[in-house]
Amino acid sequence: MKNIKVSFDTWVQLLGMLGVLGGLIFVGLEMRQSQIIAIGNQVQARADTQLAILTTPLEGDQRLLSFFSFGSIPNESDLSEEDRLLFEQLTRIRMASLQASWQQFNLGLLPEDAWRLAERRIFIIYDSCQFRDVFERTSQPEFLEYVRSNSSSTCE
């Protein structure tokens, strides 16, 4: 067997090429992270715009304060037709915000504990059945599929 001697210059070139390759991989990972953050910002901007559109007609309506009890949904039979329409609009607003949270969680931009709180609110609304038609009309298909597959509630 013949011994092959490799010159010092060859080793330096090899190490330099490995350094350049490592740098390119690092730059690629940073570009991917920047893209995910940009998508998350776009999701949030769309949600903010949608929320602004949905909340504008409701500004200054004091009756909405009674609907902000998290964890419960008023009984539909206790609501006047006008209050029912207000609560339906509030449901649309909540769903726009919660869908944005779902998208940001899937992008890895929302911490687990914040997602669990949002997820709990999603299922409170969906499982109440009261405004499920609003939920289903205003939800994105992928989000709706996620909720349907994880819900234990069936509505009659």
- What ranges do the domains of the chain cover? 40-150
Please state the rounded mean pLDDT for residues 11-23: 90
Residue 125 near residue 73, CB atoms below 8 Å: yes
What would the pLDDT profile of 80-98 be if each residue is shown by its tens digit?
A: 887 778 878 888 888 888 8
Q: Which residue has the higher pLDDT, 130 or 106?
A: 106
pTM assigned to the model: 0.64
Q: What is the pLDDT of residue 67?
A: 60
Residue 90's identity, in one-letter code, is L
Angle between helices 141-150 and 81-106 (to 10 degrees): 100
